[in-house]
């Protein structure tokens, strides 16, 4: 393991807004489940999650734009989470937190009392093999996990360079009869790109430089 990774893991352990629960199967409920607003954020603001957040460009960007909301970036790779955690700490963005967990265990972290009103899924692994469909973050299995804690009318935003992931998610959403608010296979050819959708992840910048089209889907859970 590189020295930079070791340094970042050490810093993560000392950050007050980074949580790294011990992995157990089945996962026990997190001590803050149902009390994130009152016991950690110390406010009554709604919560937004960024799943597979990587360097957490959306968690960082959105928390700066919307101080009256709370944000949690979630990823399994601690060295990536470190970047967003360090930036928000240095910027004094106290409406943020980070979780190093496997997203499949997310139902043990949140409950309906946490008021999760929005979820961002930014450039997830499309898991292209059919045998791994259940691992896609928009599979029926994952949508059921989100339903276990999401607030009524919770919106899910998918941003991806993968046409497979976009088409697959669109088919799942339609099959479940969910309300689609926005859907495009070429985001930057629409007039929807406001200050929120113009936030770009590291991977998005790479794909755009290679001429890829960015797909975007927003639907109500």
State which H helix or E strand residue 150 sits in.
Answer: strand 150-160
Catalytic residue among 29, 125, 167, 186: 125
How far apart (Å, rounded) are the C-alpha atoms in residues 171 and 18?
A: 35
Per-residue pLDDT, 26: 85
Find how far residue 186's CA is from the centre of its chain.
21
pLDDT higher than threshold 80 for residue 3: no
Per-residue pLDDT, 51: 97
User: What domains can you pick out in the chain, each with its CATH number?
Assistant: 33-220 (3.40.50.150)
Per-residue pLDDT, 29: 94
- Measured from the Cβ of residue 64, the count of other Cβ atoms closer than 10 Å reads 15
Q: How far is CA 14 from CA 1, 9, 19, in A?
A: 20, 9, 10
Q: Are 20 and 76 in contact (CB under 8 A)?
A: no
125 catalytic? Reply is yes
| Beta-strand pair 215-220/150-160 | antiparallel
Output 153 or 10, whichever has higher pLDDT: 153
What phi-psi label fits residue 168: left (phi over 0), alpha (psi between -120 and 50 degrees) or beta?
A: alpha
pLDDT digits 0-9 by tens, 189-199: 999 999 999 99
Q: Are 83 and 108 in contact (CB under 8 A)?
A: no
Per-residue pLDDT, 2: 60
DSSP H helices in 110-218: 140-147, 163-175, 202-209
- Measured from the Cβ of residue 25, the count of other Cβ atoms closer than 10 Å reads 7
Rounded percentage of the chain residues whose pLDDT exceeds 70: 99
Per-residue pLDDT, 111: 97
The stretch 63-84 carries a mean pLDDT of 93
Per-residue pLDDT, 11: 81
Q: Are 57 and 201 in contact (CB under 8 A)?
A: yes
């Amino acid at each position: 393991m590189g020295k930079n990774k070791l340094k970042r893991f050490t810093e993560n352990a000392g950050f007050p807004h980074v949580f790294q629960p011990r992995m157990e199967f089945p996962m026990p409920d997190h001590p803050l489940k149902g009390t994130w607003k009152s016991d950690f954020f110390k406010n009554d603001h709604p919560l937004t999650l960024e799943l597979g957040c990587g360097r957490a460009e959306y968690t960082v960007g959105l928390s700066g734009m919307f101080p009256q909301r709370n944000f949690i970036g979630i990823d399994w790779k601690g060295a990536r989470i470190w970047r967003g955690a360090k930036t928000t700490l240095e910027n004094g963005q106290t409406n943020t937190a980070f979780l190093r967990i496997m997203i499949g265990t997310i139902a043990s972290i949140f409950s309906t009392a946490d008021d999760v009103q929005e979820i961002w899924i930014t450039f997830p692994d499309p898991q292209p093999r059919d045998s791994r469909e259940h691992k896609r973050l928009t599979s029926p299995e994952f949508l059921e996990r989100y339903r276990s804690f999401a607030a009524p009318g919770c919106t899910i935003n998918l941003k991806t360079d993968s046409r497979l992931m976009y088409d697959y998610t669109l088919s799942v959403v339609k099959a479940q009869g969910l309300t689609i608010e926005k859907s495009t296979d070429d985001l930057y050819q629409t007039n929807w790109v406001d200050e929120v959708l113009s936030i770009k992840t590291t991977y998005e910048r790479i794909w755009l430089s290679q001429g890829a089209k960015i797909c975007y889907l927003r639907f109500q859970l």
